[in-house]
Amino acid sequence: MDKLYIKKDIRSLSLSELSKQLVDLGEQAFRAKQVYEWLWVKSCTSFDSMSNLSKSLRDKLAEHYKIHGVQVHKSQFSADKTIKSTFKLHDHHLIEGVLIPAPDRMTACVSSQVGCSLTCKFCATGYMDRKRNLNADEIYDQVVLIAQQAEQNYKQPLTNIVYMGMGEPLLNYANVLRSIDRITAPDGLNMASKRITVSTAGIAKMIKKLGDDEVRFNLALSLHAANDAKRNEIMPINEQNSLMALAEALKYYYAKTKNSVTYEYIVFNDFNDELTDAAELAAFCKHVPCKVNIIEYNPISFADFKNADGDKIDAFANFLKKKGIITNVRRSRGKDIDAACGQLAVKEKAS
């Protein structure tokens, strides 16, 4: 096909770009706002469904543009009501996302990449290859589909979004930020930025960029060790992004945004579960205002790590609390369907 006639992904266009292109096609500029509302407020993935547009305009849109809608490939329901879904992309890649219901919230855990390149030793996704980044609309679609699951299964609206699924969000920076723009914008899903958390394994220069961009969403750092030797062992990314480099980046980020940071810390049995480890974490917590989420480890077949004993986890958490650090112990959800933290890994191929 001649390159001039290759259809464009309409959701890759800004409102001003779409407006200009519609004018070039002989349409009035205000039509772009109508189309944009269908795409981003009503989450429409079919031109035929845009009912307040003329048939001729819908035909023209279908002739020149495409919509790469994401589809639910398969869903699994946990005993604790967590729902894990495998989503099929337009090029047949598969990704996973999770709905995590709680009495006071409905949280969507979404992916930012197909696979991951960081090879964290305790994470199932880290044992996959990274195939590609997700586009902003593919991240947005995950949120829409998971929100529909919350309404359909639990009669509750989605309240929170965490970028903690497959992939490293800060290695897909532009698409992640654009997805958040579409999710939070009044001409998008209009969700509050403070309801969104982006989790990173720790890329110092991109944390600084978040500061430069003065983002309003929450930042979480998957820390898991406040000791470079131990962190290098389980998270190879630390070899180029040492704790000192991360501390400097977080200080810069906080100075620019005044947003506190959440540290995620999995307590592994006989690895990072002693009070000396807690003391190192407490020292790291002095760099910027923060809180700590202690996360239960969810075993995977690729690795030999085990969750620390309950008494060890309680002692670890109490040590931090006595130091005046806000500390929460997060119990795993969806373990029976491999939907818990660190367990996402597509085990099939799309047909």
Could you tell me the two tokens for 32?
């772009």
The 10 Å Cβ neighbour count of residue 331 is 10
Cα–Cα distance list, 151 to 120, 156, 314 (Å)? 34, 5, 35
CA 189 to chain centre: 16
96 is catalytic: yes
The one catalytic residue in 109, 120, 290, 341 is 341
Phi, psi of 8 (to 5 degrees): -90, 150
Residue with tokens 């406040």: 226
Could you tell me the two tokens for 169?
């969000």
341 is catalytic: yes
CA 206 to chain centre: 15
The amino acid sitting at 220 is A
Residues 118/235, Cβ–Cβ less than 8 Å? yes
Q: What's the CA gap between 87 and 85, in Å, rounded?
A: 6
By CB atoms closer than 10 A (0-12, 13-18, 19+), residue 108 is buried
Q: What's the CA gap between 191 and 157, in Å, rounded?
A: 11
Phi, psi of 70 (to 5 degrees): -90, 140
Residue with tokens 């630390």: 238
Listed residue (69, 65, 68, 70) closest to 31, CA to CA: 65
The amino acid sitting at 52 is N
Name the strand (E) or helix (H) holding 183.
helix 173-184
The one catalytic residue in 27, 96, 264, 296 is 96
DSSP count for the chain of H helices, then E strands: 10, 14
Active site residues: 96, 341
